[in-house]
Amino acid sequence: MFPTVLLLSAFTLGAEDKAKAPYFEVAVEKVEIKPGAFNSPTLVIDAKDLAKLVTDETARTAIAKQVDFKTHKLVIFAWQGSGQDGIDVAVLESFPEQLVFTKKPGLTRDLRTHVKVFAVRNDVKYTVK
């Protein structure tokens, strides 16, 4: 029961909570970005960069509604792998916080394209392992 509560609270962050959180996952249904290597995510620092990367206006609008580029940058992962692949995010204790993104490999042999969009507070550093 306890992990479910944590999971639900992550999806119900208010605008004020999002501004204080070191990161949050941006909810988007479909973003078409050319997949690359997992360890080379795309950094988006403003709406102009987002417009160049995401050509679908509906997806771009959905992202822009959730992110304030004055306080956050986007880290976009696009890769191909098992349909069960995922991303783990660890927050290291420091101020400002530091994030470590790690690929969680799936066990199936079905090749899928994955796109995950994270909003990271501007003063937070991140690494990819």
List, as own/partner pairs, every contact residues 45-48 make where C-beta atoms lie below 8 angstroms and the sequence separation is at least 24, other chains included: 45/69, 45/73, 45/74
> 9-18, 74-83, 87-96, 103-112: which has the minimum mean pLDDT?
9-18
What is the count of structural domains for the chain?
1
pLDDT of amino acid 8: 31
Predicted confidence (pLDDT) at residue 93 exceeds the cutoff of 80: yes
Q: Tell me the per-residue pLDDT of 37-59, one tens digit each, with 9 for 90 and over.
A: 999 999 999 999 999 999 889 99
Task: Give the residue numbers spanning the domain of 23.
Answer: 2-128
Q: What is the mean pLDDT of residues 91-116?
A: 93
The pLDDT score that the predictor gives to residue 94 is 83
